[in-house]
Amino acid sequence: MSWFESFILGLVQGLTEFLPISSSAHLRLTAAFAGWHDPGAAFTAITQIGTETAVLIYFRKDIATIVGAWCRSVVALVRRDDSMRGNHDAQLGWLVIIGSIPIGVLGLTLKDQIEGPFRDLRLIATTLIVMGLVLGLADRLAARAETGGGRHRANGGKTLRDLGVRDGLIYGCCQALALVPGVSRSGATISGGLLMGYTREAAARYSFLLAVPAVLASGFYELRDAGEGHVAWGQTVFATLVAFVVGYAVIAWFMRFITTRSFMPFVYYRVALGILIFVLVAAGVLSPHAGESAA
């Protein structure tokens, strides 16, 4: 991998990680369209450390409060002290842990499929379209609720204070779908949140918080494979730094965007990109396994 490829892939990772359009799919597609080697699942996971570091910094106050409350709740639990029972921030900490279990279990179980069959461009095109339509449906239902026609019209939608174990596990299962490139971690969890009646802001905020342990664990786990094949350590680190800088800017923009705008532009983009991939593969312009053998 050249330094130019590293820069472009880091840029793509930073731009797409937090948008509901799938960063792993775009890294795979960028390489395929450019005629480069597939950067691979390990490269994708490691560069996500950069974007999740951006999350840690952007939400540093929220995360520090949650971690502090969770630690105090553990101490209280050991001492059989009920003083932390009902503490919202401590509960969020436990729910993030519970919600991270599905992707952790499935990530280890399906590791070979994630690094192989799941990177087929036809599967990526399918997940882009299907999950795009799901996001569109969820967005329309959220819009109905906001205008007084939905199930949560009385309070304008559920917030993170309404989050419980059941919803936490559902969020976690939605996040696990993102093991397939094209699904999108943020797209799946935000869609799940909207379908459960959460506000756009609450669904996005919890999506970002839930991703932190899963993405960091995956990235550090894949560090053992860094530097193997055609992707050297230097280029991987450089791409991760680029992803961090760009990712931070995207978070700030996205959190402002969702407070007043619909997710429909992302839906149209996903469906159009999925159809384009199918057309190019069917026409023989693009191989569904482009770059895989070289990677």
Band of residue 225 on the pLDDT scale cut at 50, 70, 90:
low
Q: What's the rounded mean pLDDT across residues 126-134?
A: 96
- Write down the pTM of the prediction: 0.85
pLDDT of residue 295: 38
Domain map of the chain by residue range?
1-281
Position 150 pLDDT exceeds 60: no
Question: In this prediction, what percent of the chain has a pLDDT beyond 90?
Answer: 55
User: What are the structure tokens assigned to 140, written together?
Assistant: 């329309």
pLDDT band at 293 (very low <50, low <70, confident <90, very high): very low
264: left (phi over 0), alpha (psi -120 to 50) or beta: alpha
Give CA separation, 52 vs 13, 170, 219, 267, in Å.
11, 22, 10, 24
Is pLDDT at 119 greater than 90 in this prediction? no
Task: Answer yes or no: is pLDDT of 152 > 50.
Answer: no
Q: What whole-number distance in Å separates Cα of residue 62 and Cα of residue 40?
A: 33
Residues 131-166 as b or e (16 or more Cβ within 10 Å = b): bbebbbebbbbbbebeeeebebeeeebbebeebeee
Mean predicted confidence (pLDDT) in 161-180: 93
How high does pLDDT run on average in the chain?
A: 87
Q: How confident is the model at residue 148 (pLDDT cuts 50, 70, 90)?
A: low
**Which band of pLDDT confidence, cut at 50, 70 and 90, is reported for residue 118?**
confident
Q: What is the pLDDT of residues 37-89, one digit of tens each?
A: 888 777 888 898 999 999 999 999 999 999 999 999 999 988 888 878 889 99
- Give the separation between CA 130 and CA 107, rounded to whole angstroms: 21
